[in-house]
Structure 1
Amino acid sequence: MTNQFLWVIFPYLCMAIFVVGHLFRYRNDQFGWTAKSSEFIEKKLLMIGSLLFHIGIMPVIGGHVVGLGIPKEWTRALGVSDHMYHMGAIWVGGFFGFVTLAGMLILTARRVTLKNVRELSSRSDLIVNALLLFIVFIGIYSVVVTNAVKPEFDYRDSISIWFRSLLIFRPEAGLMSTVPLAFQLHILSGFLIFAMWPFTRLVHVWSVPLNYVRRSYILYRRNPKN
């Protein structure tokens, strides 16, 4: 029963909250999507931390998409051996993971140590910050430490197949029973952040596309008296 809840019910519940929560907030708080900026308080640490975080997080997301979405048979067909893929995941993924972590640590230190920034932060800001920091840390730990301790473990034989089974609504919870704890914590905390997303400042990532969609057109007419 626990296995079914953690690896079937909980992921679907989090994603349902993610979708419904965004629709609800958009209908009731369209103009509250942007994050309250603290740039006017302190710029240097914000710039460095944000730059490192965004440089690191994009390849990390790309690695997750490839690792979870593409079967190992496909990469083999492209001439990428399992060993080559494994080494790439550890070294490349680990490098960008550390870059992301460095950015998160700088942003966290800035939020905690600077009084004015801390006072501008809500409770949800602090919770999300702590959760993101944990997700990044446990992800790096999973890739670097767990893979070193258990080199025989290949997440593409369990986690990836389980994830794809969720997408086609034929979940195979049993695949997750032998997955190391660090990977399990990384996955569960990842789904949790999706459930919290619509109710926090994380929605500001949609601000640019939404502002473009909501952009109004200004019509200019010649004054007939001129």
Structure 2
Amino acid sequence: MIDQFLWVVIPYICIASFIFGHIFRFRHDQFSWTAKSSEFIEKKQLMIGSLLFHIGIIPVIFGHVAGLGIPKEWMHAIGVNDHLYHIGAVYIGGLFGVITLAGMLILTLRRITRKSVRKLSTNSDILVNVLLLFIVFMGVYATLVTNNIQHDFDYRETISVWFRGLLIFNPEAAYMSAVPLSFKMHVMTGFLIFGLWPYTRLVHVWSVPVHYVGRSYILYRKHRSPKRAS
């Protein structure tokens, strides 16, 4: 019963919150759809942390898509055997995971320890930073530590199958029963951040300024002081 709640009910609640929360906020609260940049307060740590985070997170996302979305048998069919996949997932994925973790650590410490930045932050900002830091840490730990301790565990035969079942509305919670704790914590907090996403400043990642592309000019207006009466 507890497995059904953890690995079926909660994920679907988080997915529903992600979808309908975005729709509601976009329709009723567009003015808060912003990152509220704190760059003018402190720039150096923000630049370093953001650069490291974005360099690391993009390959990590693609790695998650491949690992969770592509069945193991399909990988074998295109010539990617288990040993080759393990090298890519653990060592290359681990490297980018560490880079992401370093960036997230810098950004989180900046938000918490810099008084001027903390004053500009809401409780949800701090929660998101800490939660993202924890998610990335657990992902790195699961990749570099758990995978090397429990050699017989293959998340493509458990987590990936369960995840694909969620997407086609045929989830099997039993696949998660033998999953190591570090992977379970990484997965659960990952769904939690998706559930909270629409209600935080994370929504700004969808605000790509595509409307600026193709604009041939920018209009500047010069302010003129009113003429004094003679």
- Following TM superposition, the consecutive aligned residue runs of length 4 or more in structure 1 with deviations greater than 4 angstroms are 209-212
Structure 1 counterpart of 2:35, one-letter code: A
* Distance verdict in 2 for CA 1:61–1:40, change over 3 Å: same
Residue matched to 1:164 = 164
Structure 1, unaligned stretches of length 5 or more?
A: 216-226
Give the corresponding residue for 1:127: 127
In the alignment, the residues of structure 1 paired with residue 158 and residue 93 of structure 2 have an alpha-carbon distance, to the nearest angstrom, of: 19
Q: Sequence identity, in percent? A: 68
Length-normalised TM-score, structure 2: 0.90
Alignment partners' CA distance in 1, 2:107 and 2:127: 14
Looking at structure 1, the residues matched to 5 and 113 of structure 2 have their Cα atoms a distance apart, in angstroms, of 39
Q: Does 1:179 align with 2:212?
A: no
Instruction: Give the drift of 1:83.
Output: 1.1
Q: Calculate the aligned-residue CA RMSD, in Å.
A: 1.5
Between 26-35 and 57-66, the greater mean CA deviation after superposition: 26-35
How many aligned positions are there?
A: 214
Q: Distance in 1 between the 2:210 and 2:35 partners?
A: 14
- Structure 1, 122-131 or 26-35: larger mean CA deviation: 26-35
Residue pairs, 1:75-86, within 5 angstroms: 75-86=75-86
Structure 2 portions without partners, runs of 5+: 216-230
Q: TM-score, normalised by structure 1?
A: 0.92
Match in the other structure for 1:116:
116
The AA in structure 2 aligned to 1:199 is: Y
Counterpart-to-counterpart distance in 1, 2:105 and 2:20: 31
Equivalent in the alignment of 2:104:
104
**Offset of residue 52 of structure 1:** 0.4
How do 1:39-78 residues align onto structure 2 when only pairs under 5 Å count?
Answer: 39-78=39-78
In 2: Cα distance, 1:8 partner to 1:179 partner: 15
Report the Cα distance in structure 2 between the residues aligned to 1:43 and 1:211, rounded to whole angstroms: 27
CA distance in 2, matches of 1:79, 1:24: 45
Distance in 2 of aligned mates of 1:52 and 1:101: 8
User: Which amino acid in the other structure matches residue 126 of structure 2?
Assistant: L
Deviation at 1:108, TM superposition (A): 1.1
Q: 1:34 and 1:211, CA in 2 relative to 1: closer, same or farther beyond 3 A?
A: farther
Q: Does 1:196 find its partner at 2:191?
A: no
Q: Which amino acid aligns with 2:27?
A: R
